[in-house]
Structure formats: C-alpha cells, structure tokens
Amino acid sequence: MGIISRGFSGHRSEGGDRLPPGQYLEHGFPVLSAGPTPHVPLDRWEFAIATETETHRWTWQELTALPTETPTADIHCVTKWSKFDTDWEGVSLDVLFEDVESSAEYALVHSYGGYTTNLPVEDLLDGKAWIAYRYDGEELAPTHGGPARLLVPHLYFWKSAKWVRAIQLLDEDSPGFWETAGYHNYGDPWREQRYEGD
C-alpha cells in the first residue's frame, strides 16, 4: 500500500496556475481578525485620505454616491488559503485620488479598531484597489470588514484592511500592525512574501 491513497491529488491541483505557490483552494470564506469586530454606525462613518498638507473626507452617503465598480478577484490569505472569483462592489481608489495632490510614495492604512497596514501608493492606483462595501451582491458583513474595507487583491489579504477609515500618505514607509510583528513588508503571494526575509 502506498503512502498516499490512490486518487488523492490535494488542493493545489484544483487551483492550477491561478493558485500561488504554497496556497490551497478554499471554497468558504474564513474569518480572521487581529482583534474584536468594530461596529460603526453609518451616520458616524467616514473615510479620509490625508496628504502632507490637507485631508479629504467622505461620509457614507458621499462615498456610496460615487461611481462604483464590480471587480471579480482571486484573494490570497497569508495563512495559505486562496479563494477564486470573489465578487465585490465599491469605489476605485483612482476615483478617490482624483483631487488628491501629493508626492508621497507610501501609504499607511488605518482602520476602525486601530489596525494599520502599509503599502506603496502605486499599489492603490491604476485599477488595483477599491474601497469595497458589497460582497457577493450583499452589504459587506462586519466580520468581513463591513461597512467598508480596502480591497487590494494582488497582495496577501492582510493588506486589504477591514473596517477602513483612512489612508495616510507618507514620504517614508511606516510598517503597520502585522509588518511590525514580523510579516513581510510588501506581501506578494506569487513570491511567497509571508514573513520578514521571505
């Protein structure tokens, strides 16, 4: 009798070339959070982009009145699960950055509840990122980051900050919550950048 049962192929072959190295295909949507789930009433919710000299703000009504997009994206968690063809609705960061003037190259994302994560500004633009407030045709559940989360699907999912409230633009990189705890500063799933030194 062989070590592996006949017919066992594992999760990787199920995903084929769309699955980054070291990942397995997940059909559910696991909930992972670094702390308790914040609940922000929509009449008190706001999103901001802070530059070196000014802050641009949107209320919930203002954000949801902006043109929306409906990206379908594969997402990849650093804990090694990937989920294909996730359907979202939200506002492209390209729209939100239209009137933002800044020479900053780095962003520190802030969430309700105190979570932070960092990434280059270029990873937020050119159709790469959204403020998403609907998932699979429904309002985004609080456990998945509702009322709104950042969606940056080309990076590990910890960069897609739940409960997003602000993006602070910086001249120098400033690591966020998981990055200061030993996770990779950038987080490219195709290069398996899970931890510092990867």
Task: Give the pLDDT confidence of 54-104 residue by residue, as tens digits.
Answer: 999 999 999 999 999 999 999 999 999 999 999 999 999 999 999 999 999
**The model's pTM:** 0.90
**CA–CA separation, 189 and 153 (whole Å):** 10
Q: Is the peptide bond before 147 cis (omega within 30 degrees of 0)?
A: yes
Which helix (H) or strand (E) segment holds residue 30: the answer is none
Kindly give, in sequence order, each residue whose CB lies less than 8 Å from that of residue 106, ignoring residues fewer than 6 positions away. 118, 119, 120, 121, 169, 170, 171, 172, 173, 174
20-27+42-191 CATH fold: Sulfite Oxidase; Chain A, domain 2 (3.90.420)
Report pLDDT for 35.
72
Is the CB of residue 24 less than 8 Å from the CB of residue 189? no
**CA–CA separation, 119 and 20 (whole Å):** 20
38 CB burial (10 A radius; 0-12, 13-18, 19+) = middle
Could you state, in order of their start, the residue ranges of all structural domains in the chain?
A: 20-27+42-191
Is the CB of residue 74 less than 8 Å from the CB of residue 83? yes
Report pLDDT for 28.
83
Report pLDDT for 29.
85
* pLDDT tens-place string over residues 89-148: 999 999 999 999 999 999 999 999 999 999 999 999 999 999 999 999 999 999 999 999
Low-confidence winner among 27-31, 55-59, 171-175 (lowest mean pLDDT): 27-31
What one-character DSSP code corresponds to residue 36? P
